[in-house]
């Protein structure tokens, strides 16, 4: 095939360029890598920039986590699992009369947002392990509940 050439713009390739071209695989088979940030310490995620303070906190978290090891993390998890903030009360959940209505003894039902049954139930049995949940930015609220135990299944109908 004969190509037209403009002699005024043709320059012989340097030896380095020619060698690189000879050792480069066809561009058809090589995927183009994604663009890399020019300043990795200021990578922007959403609307928030990763600041040096965040990077330092993350480095500290990783270091502490590695020092604790798996056994230490399991121990910490077991301790935290039992923690409930003193600002939240769960007296209905703790009431011995309601013990059979709690499938999980370690998942409390908060008094401040619990669902109170009021349709054809006596006052002493208005408890069900369920809480009203309002999510920020949503107009609706939801009810979060544990799976009902067999003897209380009809309360969900």
Digits of tens for pLDDT over the chain (157 positions)?
444 444 444 444 444 444 444 444 445 556 666 666 555 555 555 566 678 888 899 999 999 999 999 999 999 988 887 777 788 899 999 999 999 889 988 889 999 999 998 887 776 788 889 999 998 888 889 999 888 777 777 766 6
Q: Rounded to whole angstroms, how far apart are CA atoms 128 and 92?
A: 9
Q: Rounded to whole angstroms, how far apart are CA atoms 93 and 96?
A: 8
CA 125 vs. chain centroid, Å, equals 37
Q: Rounded to whole angstroms, how far apart are CA atoms 93 and 105?
A: 9
Overall residue count recorded for the chain in this entry: 157
The single-letter DSSP state of residue 107 is: S
pTM tops 0.75: no
User: Which three-class secondary structure state does DSSP give residue 49?
Assistant: strand
Lookup: tokens for 46:
């959403």
Specify the DSSP element, H or E, that contains 55: helix 52-81
Q: Rounded to whole angstroms, how far apart are CA atoms 150 and 55?
A: 50
At 45 the pLDDT is: 56
Contact 152, 128 (CB under 8 A): yes
Contact 37, 29 (CB under 8 A): no
């Amino acid at each position: 095939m004969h190509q037209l050439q403009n002699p005024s713009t043709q320059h012989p390739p340097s030896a380095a360029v020619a060698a690189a071209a000879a050792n480069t695989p066809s561009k058809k088979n090589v995927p183009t890598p994604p663009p890399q940030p020019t300043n990795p310490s200021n990578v922007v995620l959403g609307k928030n920039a990763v600041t040096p303070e965040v990077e330092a906190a993350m480095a500290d978290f990783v270091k502490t986590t590695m020092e604790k090891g798996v056994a230490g993390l399991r121990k910490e998890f077991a301790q935290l699992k039992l923690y409930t903030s003193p600002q939240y009360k769960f007296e209905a959940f703790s009431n011995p009369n309601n013990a059979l209505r709690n499938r999980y003894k370690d998942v409390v039902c908060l008094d401040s947002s619990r669902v109170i049954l009021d349709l054809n139930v006596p006052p002493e049995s208005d408890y069900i392990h369920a809480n009203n949940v309002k999510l920020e930015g949503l107009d609706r609220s939801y009810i979060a509940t544990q799976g009902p135990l067999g003897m209380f299944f009809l309360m969900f109908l």
